[in-house]
Chains A and B, each alone.
Chain A
Amino acid sequence: MILFLQQVLNGLIIGSTYAVVAVGFSMVFTVLRVINFAHPDIFMVGMFTGLAAALHVSDNIVVALIGGAIGAGLFGLVLERLVIRPLRGRDVLMTLIATLGVAIMAENGMAVLKGPDPLPFPALIGLTQFHLGGVQIGERQLLNFALSLAVLGFASWYVRSTRFGRATRAIAERPDVAAAFGVNVDVISQITVVLASMMAGVASVSVAVLYGNAWAFAGLLYGLKSFVVMLVAGNRYFEGVMAVALGLGVVEALVTGYLSSSLSDAVAFFLLIAVLFVRPSGLFGSYGS
């Protein structure tokens, strides 16, 4: 029983990072109708700008987080302007390939700059473990979880309660009509990408602190899982994406705990096949399907 609860807790924590990356990825897909293969690399760049901030500015965790958010946000901004926007209206697979090109450049570029091996990330948060009735959770994990929830909460508030957030939803459902009612689709698209990027940037620094390192190829793992999460959840409600991401984290953790850790990576794919056979537009439905 303790093992079960512990793994559920661990799973929620891992899942919360999946959720942040997946929600950003999903927002961009839903609003811009593109698969940004470089989203995980935006995550990774945030990790390194956060590292730079931690090493050269201050060892305050907040500074590192801001560094991550700004670095990732800038990368996303440039990507949107130079790659995504010029390819609008083309086959979505073209943007996928172009962003893949960017991803290859980014990963290998970072590997050249900083080496292909993980770099140590300063211990900005301690290693204290808290015990709650048999299960334990570390300070860093707590931070990770709290940050992810905060970011997700912000995203949810933005989309549901702000003027631009409403416009974002309108574009996702009917872009022509949105444009015809005064929404500058280009501007909102850009804002959406930057927002998704900044979210990934914050998540990446929090993950770097958690595992104690920053790595040029860190994005790959999160990228694939987020993609699967987005497909399984459907892109209509991003609360659905959050729920599926958390669920995936929990199931993976349970599989690791009770079966074997090498199988846990396969969980995502079996889940994908299972769900898509039954509900092709994802568990919670998608726009335009």
Chain B
Amino acid sequence: MGSFGFWQPIIIFSLLNVILTSGLYITALSGQLSMATAALAGIGGYVSAVLTANFDWPFVPAILVAAVATAIVGGLLAALMVRMRDFILKLTTLAFGEAMSVIAFNIPYIGGANGFSGIPLYSTMTDVVVVAALAIFVAWRFDGSQLGLASRAVRDDPLAAACNGVSVRQVRVTTFALGSAVIGAGGALSAHYVLLVTPSQMGFYFSLTYIIFLLFGGLQSLWGPLVATVLLTAAPEVLRFANEYRLILYGLIILLVILWRPNGLITRRPLGPGGRGPQSGTPSDIAFSGSRGSAAVDRREVETPIGTASD
């Protein structure tokens, strides 16, 4: 189990996923939790694959074009969704992802159902490491930048942000496009490693994986999701020793970690009074018993809820 040959694909896949998760993190920071990550990655993959395989483009320009193309698509999607919030937004991205998948399915030029193959193997370990480092760097710098701050403002309270002169539309479109560019680049790299891009890998199920990485790690900082990405990508491979039980173990691990850390693996304490924690799911949480569950709850010891006060 110790040979480098065993670990290399695991490392590469983990890093590829890290790139995609970083891109998702960027879009999620502005409150747009995109369920179309895999679809966008697929677009990046198809674009760069066609450029290199059919038009003999060199690798780096192909990746760049792929990133830009994905950014444009992402930006357009975000522009369409400017008025949407929360649940509806997530759904629209979901539907968009599926639609992209079906469209790809029906275009014979890029291979239709069987996908596009014959892609040259350009991605090396070095390439992947470099791009992953770049992606993390971009996400990290974005996090701390003015745009990152504006994004968080738009996520938490679009109305207040607008009143403070932030163009909600611009912030959302920009962050989505930026995140999509990163995702597109990741998709391109992946295409030139796996040597195949198919419509089925663009579906909701795969996009969900990245959401899981994000939430698993906790939405409050970049590092949690990145750690989660590596752990959760490597886990099924590492669990290979368990043979047919490995997916069962995988599911069990996911379940147990969520139950143990329901706010995500790595959380950050809210900054000062009124700092917001992860968004609570429903407005009326008190009617439900919460984690105590037993009949006699002493409400003095329960944390006060995070959310808006009524009076």
Query: Direct contact between A and B in the complex (CB less than 8 angstroms)?
Result: yes
A residues near B (Cβ < 8 Å) are 33-34, 83, 85-95, 97-98, 100-109, 111-112, 171, 174-176, 178-179, 185-186, 189, 224, 231, 262, 266, 269-270, 272-273, 276-277, 280-281, 288
Which of A103, A178, A231, A281 lies in contact with B287, CB distance below 8 A?
A178
A280–B259 contact, CB under 8 A? no
B206-219 CB mask vs A (1 if < 8 Å, else 0) is: 00100110011000
Which residues 118-141 of B sit at the A interface, judged by CB distance below 8 A?
none
How near does chain A come to B248, taking the closest CB pair, in angstroms? 5
Interface membership of B273, Cβ < 8 A: no
Partner of A108 from the list B94, B247, B293 (CB cut-off 8 Å) is B247
Check A273 against B96 for contact (C-beta < 8 Å). yes
B residues lining the A interface (CB < 8 Å): 33, 84, 88, 91-92, 94-96, 98-99, 102, 105, 113, 204, 208, 211-212, 215-216, 244-245, 247-248, 250-256, 258-259, 262-263, 278-291, 293, 305
Q: Which residue of chain B lies nearest to A174 when distances are taken between CB atoms in the complex? A: B284
State whether A176 and B287 are in contact (beta carbons under 8 Å apart), knowing that A273-B96, A280-B84 are contacts in the complex. yes
| Residue of B244, B250, B258, B290 touching A88 (CB-CB under 8 A) | B290
Are A91 and B291 CB-contacts (below 8 A) given A100-B208, A269-B99, A280-B88? no
Residue of B95, B252, B305 contacting most chain A CB atoms (<10 Å)? B95
Secondary structure dominating the interface of B: helix
Closest Cβ neighbor of A81 among chain B residues: B293
A185 to B282 alpha-carbon distance, docked (Å) = 15
A94 to chain B: which residues have CB within 8 Å?
A: 215, 258, 262-263, 281
Contact A176 B88 (CB under 8 A): no
Contacts A34-B281, A178-B287 given; 6 further ones with Cβ under 8 A?
A98-B255, A104-B250, A175-B282, A185-B288, A266-B102, A272-B94
User: What A residues does B91 contact at CB under 8 A?
Assistant: 231, 272, 276
- CB <8 Å contact, B247 and A104: yes
Q: List 8 A-B contacts (CB under 8 A).
A: A86-B291, A93-B211, A97-B211, A98-B255, A104-B250, A112-B245, A185-B287, A186-B289
A101 touches B284 (CB 8 A): no
A33: which B residues are within 8 A, CB to CB? 281-282
Taking CB atoms, residues of chain B closer than 8 Å to A104 are 247-248, 250-251, 254
B98 cross-chain contacts in A, Cβ below 8 A = 266, 269, 272
A88 contacts B259, C-beta separation under 8 Å: no
Q: How far in angstroms is the closest Cβ of chain A from B299? A: 13
Question: Within 8 Å CB of B33, what residues of A?
Answer: 93
Q: Which residue of B lies closest to A98 (CB)?
A: B258
Task: With CB as the reference atom, state the residue of chain B lying closest to A189.
Answer: B288
* Contact, CB under 8 Å: A88 / B285: yes
Given known contacts A91-B279, A112-B244, is B254 in contact with A101 (CB within 8 Å)?
Answer: yes
Q: Are B251 and A89 in contact (CB under 8 A)?
A: no
How far apart are the CA atoms of A62 and B99 in the complex, in Å? 41
Contact B287 A86 (CB under 8 A): no
Are A89 and B293 in touch, CB under 8 angstroms?
no
In angstroms, how far is the closest chain B Cβ from the Cβ of A234? Answer: 11
Decide: A269 near B279, CB < 8 A? Known: A88-B290, A93-B215, A280-B84: no
Structural contact, B248 and A112, CB atoms closer than 8 A = yes
Cα A104 to Cα B239 in complex, Å, equals 15
Partner of B254, one of A87, A97, A224, A231: A97
Contact (Cβ within 8 A) A273 B248 = no
Are A98's CB and B84's CB within 8 A? no
Q: How far is the CB of B218 from chain A (nearest CB, A)?
A: 10
